[in-house]
Amino acid sequence: MTAAIVSVAARPLSTAVRHGDVVLADRLHLASGAREGRVHRLLAGALRAQGLTVHTGGAAVAGAEAPRGADAPLVEVAAPAQLPEADGDALLCLVRDDAGSVAVGRAEEALARVLGDWEAAKGDREVALAAPRSFCAGVDRAIEIVERALDRYGAPVYVRKQIVHNRHVVEDLARRGAVFVEELDEVPEGEPVVFSAHGVAPAVRDAAAGRGLRVIDATCPLVTKVHAEAKRFAGRGDTVVLIGHAGHEEVEGTLGEAPDRTVLVQNAAEAARLEVEDPGAVSFLMQTTLAMSEATEVAEALAGRFPSIKAPQSEDICYASTNRQRAVEEIAGRVDLLLVVGSPNSSNSVRLKELAERMGTPAQLVDDVSYVGLEQLRGARRIGLTAGASAPDTLVQEIVANLRALGPVTVTEHQVATENVTFQLPKELRSARKDRARKDLEKTVDSC
Q: Nearest to residue 219, comparing CAs of 194, 256, 245?
A: 194
Query: Active-site residue numbers?
Result: 250
Residue 347 labeled ligand binder: yes
* Dist. CA 194–CA 162, nearest whole Å: 10
Residue 390 labeled ligand binder: yes
Residue 314 labeled ligand binder: no
Residue 40 labeled ligand binder: no
- Give all strands of the β-sheet with 262-265 in edge-to-edge order: 262-265, 239-243, 282-286
Beta bridge partners of 191: none
Residue 53 phi, psi (nearest 5): -85, 120
Give the CA radius of gyration of the chain.
26
- Give all strands of the β-sheet with 409-415 in edge-to-edge order: 363-366, 337-341, 382-387, 125-131, 409-415
Residue 248 labeled ligand binder: yes
Question: Residue 188: how many CA atoms within 13 Å on its side-chain side?
Answer: 4
Residue 414 labeled ligand binder: no
Residue 56 labeled ligand binder: no
* Dist. CA 303–CA 326, nearest whole Å: 25
Is 108 in contact with 26 (CB distance < 8 Å)?
no
Residue 420 labeled ligand binder: no
Is 204 in contact with 195 (CB distance < 8 Å)?
yes
**Which parts of 136-292 are beta strand (E)?**
157-160, 178-181, 192-195, 214-217, 239-243, 262-265, 282-286
Tell me whether strands 74-77 and 282-286 are parallel, antiparallel or unpaired. unpaired
Residue 431 labeled ligand binder: no
Detail the residues annotated as belonging to a binding site.
136, 165, 198, 220, 248, 288, 318, 346-348, 390
Annotated binding site for dimethylallyl diphosphate: which residue ranges?
Answer: 165, 198, 248, 346-348, 390
Q: Which residues are annotated as a binding site for isopentenyl diphosphate?
A: 165, 198, 248, 346-348, 390
